[in-house]
Structure 1
Amino acid sequence: MTYWSPVPDTPMTHPPASGIRQLVAGTVGNVVEWYDWHAYTFLAIYIAAEIFPDGAGNPLVPLLATFAVFAVGFFARPLGGLLLGVIADRHGRRVALTTTVLLMGVSCLMIAVSPTYATVGVLGPVVLVVARLLQGISAGGEFTASTTFLVESAGYGKRGLFSSFHYVSATVGQILASGTATLAVFSLSEQDMRDWGWRLPFLVGAVLSLVGLWVRRGAEEPRGKWQLENRPGLFDALRKHPRESLLICGITIGGTIAFYTWTSYLPTYAQVNEGFDKRQSLLVGTLSLVFFALIQPLGGVLSDRVGRRPLLMGFAVGTAVLCVPLLGLITSGSFLSLLFVQCAGMLLLTGYTSIAAAVNSEVFPSQVRAAGIGFPYSLTVAVFGGTAPYVGTALNAMGVADAFPWYVAALCLVSGLVYLRLPESAHEPLDT
């Protein structure tokens, strides 16, 4: 792998910018970002009932429509990854970080006040679509800005550790979203949840966005002034580094489908396919996310010692082999079976999530790193991650629900072939 920076990442030349302070700045806003993003997933069933009309007497139709809007947000992510990635490369990571959290706060407020279909007709779904588009743009820029910020702020031999905190913070955001949704479901009647209770988590998210904005405004820019003055064009990363762009896609395919399967879609999968109670499935999701967050730094530290490729291969091969039997272990009404399956899947997933930020950042040079990662990563997430809930629900509607685990396994196998040929970069210098 070639690096062009005159300042290599070595113990003598690249001390951490400010250690814990940088971790806090890079992760606190990320918590808010992913709280807002995942609140939609956890409350999809309630949103479906209020924003979309029932279709042909089939209760799956409004749910499918809701997950279609979920996918719309994902397809806005490549645009956000490209535009905010270029902003991060041209004007600094900190500027991009504050922009993403501000956009997320606005979109979260829009969802909270979205009018229902019964009140204003088609305007309700239109408002929801616009809000999800803004969320998609923000989330597309968030991964690239926060991951490059964290990895570039890491000291020698700590890129994997710092990398892991991206998914720690993202998972904390999910835990807050899942926990808030669970609290609302247990505290309110079913009718109150359908009428107005589902809006409360989004109002909380809008307020939390202001906190994230305040924290990120005080972050320290990890790149030097000479780098900010050497500004790339909008498509420089794609034009000058096509192989690296394709590599990001291959790295991401299996990781993104597994991530959204195990961390977001599984509660809905259990409800739709096994008849699980909403409260039970949400509680299992929250408990397993706590487990997931705790093990991320362990994966990051391990990768700094043994390398990135062993963890990536363990994730890809393990998920490809075990996904089908694991999902087959879910039995109707069994709280422990669902908890075991979700935690086992997340343990496998950690081989990817704990080091994804470091692996992606080690592919591109600093000048185009954010935009170089942002567009291909977000495009891949949109095509394979954002559509996971829709594909799973659609397969169920067609009577072939058992095909979904095989779909996940196949995509993880594709990424495994990429990991097999991926150069080991854990102990190589990082262009900063």
Structure 2
Amino acid sequence: MSSADGASAVSETRRVPRRRTTVRGPGVRAVAAGSVGNFVEWYEFAVYGFLATVLAERFFTPAGGGAVEGLVRTYASFALAFFFRPLGAVLFGRLGDRYGRRPVLIGVVALMSGATALIGALPTYGAVGTLAPWLLTLLRIVQGLAAGGEFGGAVAVLTEFAPPGRRGLYGAWQSFTVALGLLGGAGVTAVTAAVLGTERLSAWGWRLPFLLAVPLGLLALWLRSGLTETPQFLERTNTPEMRLGWGALVLAAARVTGWAAAGYTFLVVLPSYLQSALHTGFAQALLAAAVANAGFAAAILPAGVLSDRVGRRPVLLAGAVLVVATALPVLDLLRDPGASTLAKALALAGAGAVVGLMAGPGPALLAEMFPARVRWTGLGLAYALSNAVFSGCAGLIITEAVRRTGNPDVPGHYAAAACAVSAAALLKRAPGEASWRRRPSEEAAQKASWR
């Protein structure tokens, strides 16, 4: 471990009485460059989720096929892409830890943007038959590889540029741009649907939100081309070669399982669930998702700042416990015909805010569990594994379970169960976590992750 890393580890375990809650100076460029790829990734993530019913009709439902079966196939394609995220995390993580954050992050965002734009240009089932779903699935796999590399690299850049005592805030910007991407996807899809109408949206308008990835990708490439390497990466040669141990990796993945499952359930699956299970209109379902995502976005940065003061685990644990306690009551309220629109809106915003409580400190918590020499690989793989299982499969599991059982409470049970797993993992201390208020030191992270 370098002397700079050691000094940072010592200084970050002390409580800083007055921290700024804004990013200034050189950190602005780092935050913008680190976060922009997350916006592109989660914008596409949201667009695919919000247009799932349209994509099912265009790509997965032959003439005379059932709508629900087509939706299940659409989510199966979605889930398959998630299972390539761990591979992308390892591939791009090893490259980023070896050759630098900047060049690999540039390649990752180019791959993601290109694949997203190509989805908007694909022929449909009516034009090329069974080739259409295969092409869509192939591009989803490419996106999965890129997304697997994006998270670890972005969080590494954000937290390694962060001043002492502010990793929670800097890391929270990753999650905040996720929220902006989800809101952007919801907004663009809603505007497209409102302007074109349902018939034209289904015929060709669904392509437009995907094609918007072209200008977004160009902006991301411009920002990342001006990024410099992080100080901790440049100092990594002072640390010995290491190999990844599964103990810390499994613990890290379990700690963010609830964040992954609850986030996808309440922020992305919700529109399709409201349409298929509660027969809500398309526009109303998108509005509900926008309200939930607004609550999510509003809570992220304050949660990151709070974690700089009281520690990462207490804030994440509070979010996980709240999901367990409120997931089913929120769904009950949404189904209640006597509940007011305001009450339902507050419930949706509250559900999103609880997810934000976990998403704010989550990136910093993962970054602090792995040393700088292999931080991208470690945190990226932990996050990708939890998302592959609990986010990527959420739409498929929830839709199929509701279809088979007719139980509208399935989404609540799913999110609550995942958050219970996270709560148990957060109660377990990793080596070096001497107290709830302190993060692991750099030396402790090495002991936890590399043995």
Normalising by structure 1, what TM-score?
0.92
Q: Does 1:375 align with 2:381?
A: yes
Cα pair 2:260 2:387 within 8 Å, conserved:
yes
> 5+ residue gaps in structure 1?
none
| One-letter amino acid matched to 1:315 | G
Number of aligned positions between the proteins = 425
- Which of 257, 269, 274 is the aligned partner of 1:270? 274
Q: Does 1:400 align with 2:407?
A: yes
* Rounded Cα–Cα distance in structure 2 between residues aligned with 1:285 and 1:299: 21
- Which of 413, 417, 421 is the aligned partner of 1:414? 421
The RMSD of aligned alpha carbons is: 2.5
Task: Map 1:316-327; keep pairs closer than 5 Å.
Answer: 316-327=320-331
Deviation of 1:5 after TM superposition, in Å, equals: 3.8
* Rounded Cα–Cα distance in structure 2 between residues aligned with 1:365 and 1:356: 16
* Rounded Cα–Cα distance in structure 2 between residues aligned with 1:24 and 1:108: 21
Deviation of 1:17 after TM superposition, in Å, equals: 8.6
| 1:80 alignment partner, SS class | helix
Task: Map 1:329-340; keep pairs closer than 5 Å.
Answer: 329-331=333-335, 335-340=341-346
Cα pair 1:106 1:206 within 8 Å, conserved:
yes
Bigger drift between 144-153 and 336-345 goes to: 336-345
Q: Aligned pair in 2 of structure 1 residues 365, 55: CA closer, same or farther (>3 Å)?
A: farther
| One-letter amino acid matched to 2:51 | L
2:84 match = 76
Q: Aligned pair in 2 of structure 1 residues 183, 329: CA closer, same or farther (>3 Å)?
A: same
Q: Does 1:63 align with 2:78?
A: no
Deviation of 1:286 after TM superposition, in Å, equals: 1.9
- Which of 300, 305, 313 is the aligned partner of 1:309? 313
* Rounded Cα–Cα distance in structure 2 between residues aligned with 1:175 and 1:232: 43
Cα pair 2:295 2:350 within 8 Å, conserved:
no
Task: Map 1:141-156; keep pairs closer than 5 Å.
Answer: 141-156=149-164
| 2:212 alignment partner, SS class | helix
Cα pair 2:100 2:233 within 8 Å, conserved:
no
Q: Can you list the C-alpha shifts for 1:311-340, whole angstroms capped at 9, x where unaligned? A: 111111111121111111112776545422
* Rounded Cα–Cα distance in structure 2 between residues aligned with 1:311 and 1:112: 39
Q: Aligned pair in 2 of structure 1 residues 425, 361: CA closer, same or farther (>3 Å)?
A: farther
1:6 match = 3
Deviation of 1:245 after TM superposition, in Å, equals: 0.9
Deviation of 1:402 after TM superposition, in Å, equals: 2.3
Task: Map 1:189-338; keep pairs closer than 5 Å.
Answer: 189-223=197-231, 226-227=234-235, 237-238=243-244, 241-331=245-335, 335-338=341-344
| 1:372 alignment partner, SS class | helix
* Rounded Cα–Cα distance in structure 2 between residues aligned with 1:184 and 1:225: 43
Cα pair 1:17 1:220 within 8 Å, conserved:
no
| 1:10 alignment partner, SS class | helix
2:449 match = none
Q: Can you list the C-alpha shifts for 1:252-299, whole angstroms capped at 9, x where unaligned? A: 211110110111111111111111111011022123323322321111
Deviation of 1:149 after TM superposition, in Å, equals: 0.8
1:99 match = 107
Bigger drift between 357-366 and 30-39 goes to: 30-39
- Shift >3 Å, 4+ stretches: 9-14, 54-57, 223-233, 332-338, 424-432
- Which of 141, 144, 168 is the aligned partner of 1:136? 144
2:17 match = none
Q: Aligned pair in 2 of structure 1 residues 11, 51: CA closer, same or farther (>3 Å)?
A: closer
1:118 match = 126
Deviation of 1:119 after TM superposition, in Å, equals: 0.6
